[in-house]
Amino acid sequence: MQYFISAIGTDSGKTLASAILVEALKADYWKPVQAGLPRDTDRVIELVGNETSKFHREAYCLNSPMSPHAAAKIDGVDISIEQMSIPDSQNTIIIEGAGGLMVPLNTKEFMIDLPVAWNTPVILVVNLYLGSINHTLLSIESLKNRNITVKGIIFNGKANPESEDIILRYSGYKVLLRIPQLDVVDRAQVKVLSIELLKHWE
């Protein structure tokens, strides 16, 4: 089984959420497109404590911290979904996207086209800030329009019950986890949150 981790935007908490999922499910991890350094793969490795998970090499590792289509142009690389394939593994794989769902990979393909091509359920990471309802509902609309299966939502950061309520009512998705605002993010904290996630997984 594979799960595609996306978010309502950049810096929403996809990498932390991915680490929690990898730890909880003892899953493998793969970031198909990395734009800029440090690598998110290295951060997930730091946060995961089990000995089962494997960490697969990126299909594209680009130098500039910007939209993949722009970073690829600088590096003289052409990103193509046809040239990417999910790593061969008997284990569950957590696939972390780059940025939000509508981040362009090239002039015709977007991040959201990856779970469509691979028929992979999405887990949507939502951080709550002024304007996040709009960004979240637009993301949900895009997922629904493409008939993409959504496993659930992970809320990240300071809670906002009113925002959460309208998002859940509109989407019909369930909450997999609420990550509180953390002062320290380390392996011990990821372990605690992974146990909490499993309570809501099925």
Catalytic residue numbers read: 31
Please tell me the number of Cα atoms within 13 Å of 47 on its side-chain side.
Answer: 25
User: Within a 10 A sphere around the Cβ of 82, how many other Cβ atoms?
Assistant: 7
User: Within a 10 A sphere around the Cβ of 63, how many other Cβ atoms?
Assistant: 14
Is 118 in contact with 59 (CB distance < 8 Å)? Answer: no
Residue keyed to tokens 């909450």: 175
Instruction: For residue 148, report the phi and psi dihedrals to the nearest 5 degrees.
Output: -85, 130
Torsion of Cα atoms, 155 then 148 then 93 then 14, to 10°: -30
Q: Which residue from 1, 6, 3, 2 is spatially nearest to 110, judged by alpha carbons?
A: 6
Strand partners, 30: 56, 95
Pairwise CA distance, residues 40 & 127, whole Å? 18
Kind and range of the H or E run holding 191: helix 187-198
Instruction: For residue 74, report the phi and psi dihedrals to the nearest 5 degrees.
Output: -60, -40
